[in-house]
Amino acid sequence: DHQHRRKRGFFIVVEGLDRAGKSTQVERLAQHLNAKPIKFPERTTAIGQMINSYLAQTSELDDQAIHLLFSANRWECVAAIHKTLDAGESIVCDRYAFSGIAYSVSKGLSYDWCRHPDIGLPLPDLTLFLDLDAQTAAARGGYGEERYEKLEFQAKVREAFSRVAQDVKAHGGRWVTIDAGKTLDQVTDDIQRAVQRATSSIDRVGIKLGRL
């Protein structure tokens, strides 16, 4: 009797390279959907502070160790994510496990190893990949001092994301690539249309949240 089932919120993830325009689009989409914006890494927790100092290059960690911290940072937020969605509020999430895989694989870690710590996390209803080539992203400026904000590395990350996309789709996840090279407003439009398409089909069949 699905009529009596309480509607959960949608879990929408936005992914992309650094400087692809995620922050702006996440903010706009969250506002459009009256959803809660969240982001990973969530830098305010104890684990998040370790991640932050690694990214700020004030600390060093083995590739495996930081990979696991990024994953742990998601796991420590899972209960809050479920709570929000169960209360009927949607979430728009800036980066998720797909960044975790793409960035670590680009350092040379194995794909399967990178995937494992995130297995069991809630599967997004929809992932929007803001696609931009690394040159264009770099030309936008604003690459700061943070680790990973380098052209050659970002080019590798983009390649890794295409493997992640194939994997997600092969496992029944919804992954939509958005051309992030268009104007801000055009990208916003494209995103809203993709979300409309995806969420209307979810409404019809009443799919429960899956797992990675």
Burial of 64 (0-12, 13-18, 19+ CB in 10 A): middle
Q: How far apart are CA 92 and CA 38, in angstroms?
A: 6
Q: Quick one: 109 or 209, whose CB is closer to ligand TMP? A: 109
The interface partner of residue 41, options being Mg ion, ligand TMP, none and the CB cut-off 5 to 8 Å by kind, is ligand TMP
Which among 99, 94, 121, 79 is positioned nearest to 36, based on CA atoms? 94
Burial of 207 (0-12, 13-18, 19+ CB in 10 A): exposed
Residue with tokens 């969240």: 38
- Please report how close the Cβ of residue 197 comes to ligand TMP at its closest, in angstroms: 26
Positive or negative, the Cα torsion across 199, 34, 180, 120?
Answer: negative
Q: Quick one: 40 or 129, whose CB is closer to ligand TMP? A: 40
Q: How far apart are CA 164 and CA 56, in angstroms?
A: 26
When binding is defined by CB under 6 A, the residue of 10, 70, 129, 175 that contacts ligand TMP is 70
The interface partner of residue 131, options being Mg ion, ligand TMP, none and the CB cut-off 5 to 8 Å by kind, is none
Task: Assess 161 for contact with ligand TMP (CB under 6 A).
Answer: no
Q: Quick one: 46 or 205, whose CB is closer to ligand TMP? A: 46
Using CB under 6 A as the criterion, what x/- string covers residues 100-129 for binding ligand TMP?
x--x--------------------------
- Please report how close the Cβ of residue 151 comes to ligand TMP at its closest, in angstroms: 13
